[in-house]
Structure 1
Amino acid sequence: MTVSRPHALFSFGTLMDERVQTALFGQPVPSSPAALSGYTTRPLKITDPEVIAASGLDVHLALECRLGSVVEGAVLRLTDEELAAADAYEVDDYVRRRVLLSSGEAAWAYLDADPLRPAARIVIAGDSIAYGRCDPQGGWAARLAARHIAANELDHRVFNLAVPGSTLADVAQQTPALLSARRPDTLVVAAGVNDSAVPASAPHAESGDLEAQVAAHLAALSAAAREHNARLVVLGPLWLDESRTADYEGLRFTESRALTLRAALRAWCAEHHVDHIDVWDALHGRPDLLTDGIHPTPEGHETLYRHLTAG
């Protein structure tokens, strides 16, 4: 009987070693040469004794985004059980995410668990909170851009495409056409509370509709990111002060609907191995950091920025 090997895993380090494969899978696995464009490697110190014992090394390699670079490696063909064994082998510094190989084939790869640390060219898409409304300094996104660009003036870029009032539907419709010129390696989608809004005159809505809509829009954005071999990072939503949002410009925002949105984002990202940065707790219970119950004050944006870069 032919063994089903449905998973393609790009390896650029110790998993290419047949001794490591034998230790993990019981035998060497089918593989072929492959390359990953838009990345380079950097050393990562390993402290897990089991991983060190299996590989014989206490320094492994991590991928880092760099336009014009290529990492040579191999594609391993794995069964479900072998992929699970590979997941168990990798330390917490790595997460398994989809990448697009130079051949055009989609494959799994183990990337830095902090999605912003290896980034070089970041596109931010979202609503007025990502845009920086109510903060003359440009909000959390401008602070993130300043730090990111200062770290590498030559190679690092941040493009903020956020538009006040946008929903995930708007972002999914408008963003794909704007990516090519910016050549992103990381797409940060800030999912604000606009998706959870309901008309103030008819405040009741089915949560299932919201969950289905979130799934459809994130799937479209994931596909757009993959076309550019960019890593999708979903951020949000923020906590809101429901006492001030009963009738907000004809809309109603509630904590329960925002929590439904939060759960939908987390569930979709977990199922599809996409990064989700949960920012709910950053401002939770701090109405003083919100100007109108929804938009952060400058201090709120600073708090949010620190939350995003704490790792």
Structure 2
Amino acid sequence: MALTVTESHPHTLFSFGTLLDQHVQNALFGRTVPTTAASLAGYTTRPLTITDESVIATSGRDVHLTLERKLGGTVEGAILRLSDQELAAADEYEVADYARRRVLLSSGETAWAYLDARPLRSAARIVIVGDSIAYGRCDPQGGWATQLAVAHIGANETEHRVFNLAIPGSTLADVSEQTPALLPPRHPDTLVVAAGINDSAVPLAASDTHQDGLARTAGHLDSLAATARRHNARMVVLGPLWLDETRTGDFEGLRFTTARALALRAALQTWCADNHIDYLDMWEPLRDQPHLLVDGLHPNSEGHKELYRYLSTLC
């Protein structure tokens, strides 16, 4: 008989591999966990070689399975109801190749599942939303998003797609409002939210704080996460780029500062960590390299190449 969610076992975990093995369960949890059959649509599996000796000793296998996105695919498995301590034990057991993220089961129930720790490596259909930097402004070659699309689609022209829906000037408020209507015809499995520095900008004419985008960052991200969940899409947040404050000045009526950009970066990192959402720190690739920026804000062609080189390590 399946164990219902109780105060002591509040976590629902979808498993399709070794966590369903009674030997592994006894080793990790000290008990055999009752399970309920479940399925996960939009995924398939692929083998993953394990090198951690303790994990191999527990499971008896050096090849496990990991999830990969596939339109029309389904993975059969089961759900386990775990306590806080048991979920922590499962986290410890899963190697660094995995990350625990929320998924939407075929039943409509949400559950934890261990996905590929590199969020773009397992993607098939990627939607990118964001501002002018994600759009590719100042790069005749289309920026990092176009380079990502070329590589991603080239790897599997039959099943891979990249839709760049970024709009110059967009803030997270704009993106959270516009994105729900854009996703249905594109069947995304991965939603890349390029949270650029527009949310850190201060209008030079503003005399109050009601226009401060930083104060509403979490709310907009909550809305985008809910949108992604409805499509069973994995949300990936890209943080702001390093900027050269000495060159930003009055930029189209806006003021950009390093302090505000760092505050946005910290807010995004905190929200992603609290909500188990993937965060990719775009600050580092261009840090202290003003020659890779056109105007102190927008990368030039070489800057976009650096950003793509960084992102390619996650594909």
The two structures share one fold, judged by TM-score above 0.5: yes
Aligned residue for 2:163, secondary structure, equals strand
* Native 8 Å contact 1:200 1:246 kept in 2: no
**Unaligned 5+ runs, structure 2:** 1-5
Question: CA–CA distance in 1 between the matches of 2:195 and 2:80?
Answer: 35
Aligned position for 2:231? 228
Q: Which position in structure 2 is the counterpart of 1:303?
A: 306
Distance 1:203 1:52 in 2: 61
The AA in structure 2 aligned to 1:216 is G
Q: How far apart are the structure 2 equivalents of 1:256 and 1:268?
A: 18
* 165 and 147 in structure 1: CA distance in 2 versus 1, 3 angstrom threshold: same
Q: 2:22 matched to 1:22?
A: no
Amino acid at match of 2:302: E
1:249 is aligned, of 242, 245, 252, to 252
Q: What stretches of structure 1 of length at least 5 have no aligned partner?
A: none
Matched, 1:70 2:74: yes
Change (3 A) 1:176 1:58: same
The CA deviation at 1:203 is 8.7
Q: Is the 8 A contact 1:290 1:297 kept in 2?
A: yes
Q: Deviations over 1:43-100 (max 9, x none)?
A: 0000001100110000000000000010000000001110000000000000000000
> Any idea what the Cα deviations from partners look like across 1:129-167, whole Å, max 9, x if unmatched?
000001111000000000000000000000010000000
What value does the CA root-mean-square deviation take over the aligned residues?
1.5
Give the counterpart letter for 2:155 in structure 1: A
Q: With the length of structure 1 as denominator, give the TM-score of the two structures.
A: 0.97
2:174 to 144, 151, 170: 170
**Percent of aligned positions that are identical:** 69
Q: Mapping of 1:1-311 within 5 angstroms?
A: 4-201=8-205, 210-311=213-314
Residue type of the alignment partner of 2:123: A
Deviation of the 1:236 alpha carbon: 1.6
Q: Structure 1 residues 203, 249: closer, same or farther in 2, change over 3 A?
A: farther
Aligned with 1:243: secondary structure? Answer: helix
1:246 Cα deviation from its structure 2 partner: 2.0
Aligned-partner Cα distance in 1 for 2:189–2:252:
36
> For residues 209 and 201 of structure 2, what CA distance do their matches in structure 1 show?
9
Runs of 4+ in 1 over 4 A off after TM superposition: 201-206
CA distance in 1, matches of 2:191, 2:217: 17
Please report the TM-score for the alignment, with normalisation by the length of structure 2.
0.95
Partner Cα distance (1:3, 1:276) in 2? 30
- Equivalent residue number for residue 3 of structure 2: none
CA shift, 1:200, in A, is 2.6
Q: Which amino acid aligns with 2:35?
A: S
